[in-house]
Structure formats: structure tokens, C-alpha cells
Chain A
Amino acid sequence: MIIKAEKLTKKFGGLVAVDQVDFTLAAGEFKSIIGPNGAGKTTLFNLIAGAEPVDGGRILFQGDEITNLPQERIARMGVVKTCQTSQFFPSLSVMQNLSVAAQPPSSWRSLWRGKGLAQKTLRQAKAVLKQVGLESAADCPAEALSHGERRYLDLGLALAANPKVLLLDEPTAGMSPAETRQAARLIKHLAQEFSLSVILVEHDMGVVMEVSDRVLVMNEGRIFAEGAPQEIRRNPDVQRIYLGKGRAAC
């Protein structure tokens, strides 16, 4: 198990956003999390990535405890998260954005630019630029990108940071169904190419069923069901909570 969370709990005042969740992710596994709004998907992400303090339980990454480590430490170990809204460096060019992310984490201390380091950074940034298909926009300031391109840049930043585990929180938010399908396939392809483990939050059920090895359903802070895409699709309870009672037939 590359990630193992035990009895993970997070409270916001009286609201239990994540309630004693046990969660595992195998190395190389592509797992999707689905569930209605407010089910605790984003909070679960934030806990695993260290973006928010954990109130109870613990998280192991490759057997080492990472509970409540600073976010940058966890990211440096290889657990990198993207958010629902694109997070990038607006006035820097696309290439500069990716070069920042491609810098080896320990290089922040360095006031001297070794040649090897620069080459490595450049190669990594260029490779990612190509993978996310932003070559034609390389020299544009990132703020000039369209919404869809921004989502790809966001994904590219995460990829450039050399992750082992990618936590993607609705990477296709705001995309059309066709774009969503395309983006999800790209993610799947990249995950296989770099043997990444991926946790994906996604609303398009067709896409989820297509790309995921396993699907996890969350509701009201708990894990409601987990299984292979086919099992989840057939599970009537899932249809009920996810699609709403009246619309289960659709």
C-alpha cells in the first residue's frame, strides 16, 4: 500500500467532515472518489496532502507516518495535490511556471545554479510541457490561458514536481463533457506512463467508470461503498445517494 489512512477524522466545529475513514491506495492504482457535494472528498484530499491538520487517525505513506507533517514535506516525499480551481503563477510564462515546479525540492537552498541542475530542470519542464500539450503557449503569461488550458497547466505543475501519488480534485471542473473525457484519458495515460498512483475526484460517471481501477463512494464524511467500477455501477444504494432518490431510474 502506498497510502494507508486509518480512522481519519476531521471536524469543522460541530460538523464532522471526514468521519473515521479507512482508506488505502495500492502502488500504481487509479482510484476515483465520487459522492454528492459535501461528502468530504476535498477534505479527505486536504488531510492526505497535509493541507489541513488531522483531528484523529493517522496516515502512512509507503509505511512511514506522515500525519500532520507540513504540506511541503509531504509534497517533497511525492504526494502532490491539485485543487478544484487552477492554482498557478499568473504573471509568469507557462514555461517559467513549469520550470519552477520542475526544480528539485532541495534546490531552494541554492544560490548557485549548477549546470546539471539547470539542464535537469529544463528537460523536466519541457517534457511536461509536451505531455500536457501546451507547447504553443510556452512563452505566454499563464494568465492569458483559457480555462481548459489552465486546468492542464495546473496538472502539468503537479506532474513536474515528480509525484509518486497524484491527488486530483476535479481536474476537469468547468470542462465540457468531451473535454472532460479527453482530459481524463490523458491523466490515465500519464499515470500509466509514469506508474503513478492516482486518486481522482470526478463527477462525470462515464469517465470515472472508464478510467478507474477502483471507485470509492463517500457520503456524509464516510465511505459508503468501494469496489470495481462495475460493482459500483450496479449498486442500487449508490445510485440512490449519488443521483438522488427520485432520479435513481435515470
Chain B
Amino acid sequence: MEEKLENPYSLKIVWAILLVLAPMPLVLSTPLATEILIYAIFAMGFNLALGHTGILSFGHAAYFGLGCYVTGMALRYLELGVFPALLLGTLAAGLAALALAALAVKRQGVYFAMISLAFSQMLYFLALSPLKGLTGGEDGLKFIPKLAIEFPAPLDLSKPLSAYFFTLFFFALAIFAMRQVLNSPMGRLLPAIRENEARVKSLGFPSHALKIMSMAISGLFCGLAGGLLTVYLGYVPLSTLHWFTSGSIMMMTILGGMQSFSGPIVGVLVFLCLQDVTGNFTERWELFSGTLFMALILLFPQGVAGTIRQRVRRRMAPAIPEQQT
């Protein structure tokens, strides 16, 4: 009898998420559905660092924004096609995350968070003023040529539904890739780092290199999300680099549940839908989302997805000992 090493994350969950999210435009507005997919990729990437590896970063807007700007600049100035531009944006963000992690990996917890915040603020102010000629400063990067792809089928990406399916394709790619990362030998070591980094070291694994890799892969996902935002919006708002973006993605991730695969995605879904609904009748939607955030965290201490999963498990397996010492 050959037994298999159990995968922490099954294919079923990936397909379930895709099946639930794919028909979103039937229920929600298409632009909202597209944004949900884009931020879901962003949150998945962010959560690889925070939830899975235990790296606290206050500056993930840097990688998201870098993905946006590099993709946008590649489209506007280099006149590249959509796919190469996205690839460039993704790689740029991955490299930036790799570089920052390599510099700051020896700092733990809040110190790392502060360094990452400083880095993202640096990019924000670079884009705001010194590089105004390239980035468009406060107005954001505009005049990106009209986007369309020829392969695999001719698709005009300025049409909302086309943009949605284009994004959905990359979302599917990203979610399968994330599962692959988490189930790989490298990915299995990441939660161990979150739990006890010293022990990982004493077992012979280079924890610093692993954390750097985790950040770099996280950066790739954020960069892809950023690039997709550029393609979807047709321009790059400066706010993508703002610390508020870092804060939002952290809020969405925690809201959904950090230590689960679907958590960040659920968080994005809940957060953006709430924002959409409250935004209909007030401009101060942050006030509502803040209150709701606190209420939801009290109701779901492990995040929405995490708490539901925990309750289901407890019901199914009441025999798990609960003693704490």
C-alpha cells in the first residue's frame, strides 16, 4: 500500500473557488467583479508573506504599484504588447520584493514592517515628484494606448466583459500557481518558519533564504495584480503606491483569515462588496467599513473563512483534544 504525503491544499478548493467566482458578473457589476479578482491575486500574494510565512509587511503597495507602473510604462513608452508588459510588471515587482527582503531579512516583526513601509513610501514620493515626467505625478500615468490582444483570440480589453475574462484567466493561473507553491517542498517549510524560525534553522534549513524567496514570490503575485489593474483601468492612479493600499490589503486579508488558502479571497470579496454597497449612499464609506471591520473581527476572530472552517471542523471532529498547557 503506497500512501501519499498529504497535500496541505487540495485541488478541490482551487476549483471550488474558481467555480464560485467565475460567474460573478451575473450577480455583481462587471467592473466590481474584475476588481475583486485583481485584489484577490494581490491578497493571495500578500498572504503568502503574512499568513503563511509570518512576515509582517506594511509596504506591499510598493510591489502592487510597481506592477501597475512598470506595466503601464511598458505599454505607453515601450509600446509593448499586453502580455510582455504584464510580464515585465510582474518581474519588476518580484525583483523589488527580493531586493528589499534580502536587505531587511534579519529584521523581525515590526522592524521589518517599518522598513517595508519606508520602501513603499519612497516609491510613492518618487512617483509623485522626481519622476513626474515619467509617472505623471499626482495625476497618475495616463494616455496608455487602447488595449487589445490578438492571441489566443482577438479581444478588445476596453470592454468590461472582455477585461473580466482576461483577468479571470490570470486569476486562475495565479491560484493554481499559489497552490503549487504552498504544496511544494519550499512552501511546506514556510508555515514552519511562521511557527518557529529558530527550529527551522536548527533542522538545517536556511530560514533567511526561505523568507527572501517567500517575499519574492509574494512580490510576483502583487506585481501581476498591479499589471492587471493597469490593463483594466487603462491608466495608473498614484494611489496604488499609497500606504493606504498596503493597509487595505492587510485589512482584507485579516478579514478573510490569514491562515487559510481561501481566506484572503473571501476577505477581498467581503470588503469590496461592502465598499460598493456603502459607497452607494455615502462618500464616507471608510467609516462604515471600519465599523464593519471591527464587528466582523469580533464575530470571526480567525477571519471569515478561517472561523467558518474551524467551526465546520469542530463539528465534524469533536474528538480533537482541546487542552491547552
Contact = CB atoms under 8 A, between A and B. Distances in A.
A80 B202 contact: yes
Q: Which has the most chain A C-beta neighbours within 10 Å: B6, B8, B186, B195?
A: B195
Interface stretch (A107-115, A178-186, A233-241): A107-115
A76 interface: yes
A104 to B, nearest CB: 8
Contact of B204 (A90, A110, A112, A161): A161
B321 interface: yes
Contacts of A140: 320-321
B309 interface: no
A109 B186 contact: yes
B107 interface: no
A16 B242 CA distance: 51
Interface string A144-168: 1011000000000110010000000
A103 B188 contact: yes
Contacts of A72: 201-207
Interface residues on B, range: 35 or more
Interface of A is mostly: helix
B219 interface: no
A75 B203 contact: yes
A242 interface: no
Contacts of A99: 5, 188
A161 B199 CA distance: 11
Interface stretch (A117-125, A196-204, A205-213, A217-225): A117-125
Given A92-B192, A100-B192, A110 B205 contact: no
A132 interface: no
Interface stretch (B63-71, B177-185, B278-286): B177-185
B260 to A, nearest CB: 12
Interface string A78-110: 001100000111111001110111010101111
A107 B201 CA distance: 14
Contacts of A97: 192
Interface string B287-325: 000000000000000000000000000000000111111
Contacts of B320: 140-141, 144
B189 A108 contact: yes
A54 to B, nearest CB: 17
A107 B322 CA distance: 34
B202 A51 contact: yes
Contact of A122 (B4, B186, B196, B207): B4
Contact of B199 (A95, A118, A146, A157): A157
Contacts of A87: 196, 198-199, 202
Contacts of A108: 185-186, 189, 205-206, 209-210
A49 interface: yes
A242 to B, nearest CB: 29
B199 A88 contact: yes
A146 B324 CA distance: 9
A90 B203 contact: no
A178 to B, nearest CB: 20
B185 A75 contact: no
Interface string B1-13: 0111110100000
Nearest to A89: B195
24 contacts: A49-B202, A71-B201, A72-B202, A89-B199, A90-B196, A91-B195, A92-B191, A100-B203, A103-B185, A105-B204, A105-B205, A107-B185, A108-B209, A111-B180, A111-B184, A111-B185, A111-B186, A112-B184, A118-B5, A119-B5, A122-B3, A140-B320, A157-B203, A161-B204
Interface of A: 49, 51, 70-73, 75-76, 80-81, 87-92, 95-97, 99-101, 103, 105, 107-113, 117-119, 121-122, 140-141, 143-144, 146-147, 157-158, 161
Interface of B: 2-6, 8, 180-181, 183-189, 191-192, 195-196, 198-207, 209-210, 259, 320-325
What are the nearest 9 A-B pairs in CB distance? A75-B204, A89-B195, A107-B185, A76-B204, A118-B5, A122-B5, A105-B204, A87-B199, A111-B184
Given A119-B2, A141-B320, 8 more contacts: A76-B204, A87-B198, A89-B196, A105-B204, A111-B185, A121-B185, A144-B322, A144-B324
